[in-house]
Amino acid sequence: MNHKLELQHITKTYITEEGEMTALDGVNLEVKPAEFLCIIGPSGCGKTTLLRMVAGLDHPTSGTIILDGKEVKCASPDRGMVFQEFSLFPWRKVLKNVEFGLEISGMRDKERQAIAEKYIALVGLQGFENHYPYELSGGMKQRVAIARALATEPSILLMDEPFGSVDAQTRNILQEELLEIWARTKKTILFVTHSVDEAVYLADRVAVMSARPACLVKCLAVDIPRPRKRTSAEANEFRAKLLMWLSLERSKACVTV
């Protein structure tokens, strides 16, 4: 079958003052078109590094990343990224934040405004177009970031713990909204999280990473019908399985998927 994204033997070594530091050590992963794939792993294992490389913002030390049949070599609007920290331009209003990628691509005023308005409505922020980021709550800021990432109509959405900084209730709401957007837009989503609960609620498959130097420990399919109940017996069972894989030592665990 055609894969949307292929990570082939990805290794990343940083040169630091203390010497070489291997963050990722031979990560192999294949993502299907329109798949919702969560990546979970301990802090510092290289999840952000991996996403940045798929975005083309950083490069593997060795290995190849193939998106839509082409090797990823640099950043491009066909990859929308939502970052771990709020990353809006504070001096731009909501509309102008969402228009940003379209502006860079040289699209004309009226056209990009119409597209930005469409995505602002999709994330439920109609009426806030002329607000500055400081006038928004954390959850609203992340909705703007999602609208901005979607506005360039990327073929894949890369999300780095996008709901990590919001309260539990807002996080649940944002997760539900994201699933609706995913169902409507049929985007492929690569979603990094620390949260086992979040992965079980959102993902088609969960890729479990080991501690650094990180490899992929296991890819688990979440065979729970949607819409999912957060506390169903099958969700609890899957959570336990995921926790078991997360607790394995790297040396015992690394696999080639």
Q: Which residues here bind ligand ATP, judged by CB under 6 A?
A: 14, 16, 21, 23, 43-49, 84, 194, 212
Instruction: Single out the residue of 27, 15, 21 nearest to residue 218, CA to CA.
Output: 27
Nearer to ligand ATP, 194 or 229 (CB): 194
Binding site partner of 256, from Mg ion, ligand ATP, none, Cβ cut-off 5-8 A by kind: none
DSSP bridge pairs for 255:
none
Q: Which residue has the tokens 């970052």?
A: 83
Name which of Mg ion, ligand ATP, none residue 187 binds, using a CB cut-off of 5 to 8 Å depending on partner kind: none
Rounded CA separation 50/174 (Å): 23
Please tell me whether residue 155 binds Mg ion under the rule CB under 5 A: no
Query: Toward ligand ATP, which CB reaches closer, 43 or 247?
Result: 43
The structure tokens listed for 166 are: 């919001």
Residue showing the smallest CB distance to Mg ion in the complex: 48
Determine which residue in the list 11, 48, 172, 185 makes contact with Mg ion, applying CB under 5 A.
48
Closest separation in Å from C-beta 191 to ligand ATP? 13
**C-beta of 40 vs 116, nearer to ligand ATP:** 40
Shortest Å, Cβ 122 to ligand ATP: 27
**Residue 8 binds: one of ligand ATP, Mg ion, none (C-beta under 5 to 8 A by kind):** none
In the complex, least distance from residue 225 CB atom to ligand ATP, rounded to whole angstroms:
30
C-alpha dihedral, 41 to 42 to 48 to 51, nearest 10°: -10
Residue 165 touches Mg ion, criterion: CB under 5 A: no
**195 lies in the site for Mg ion, by CB under 5 A:** no
Report what 16 binds from ligand ATP, Mg ion, none; CB cut-off 5-8 Å by kind: ligand ATP
Task: Give the side-chain half-sphere CA count within 13 A for 117.
Answer: 8
Choice between 52 and 187, CB closer to ligand ATP: 52
CB of 105 to ligand ATP, least distance (A): 28
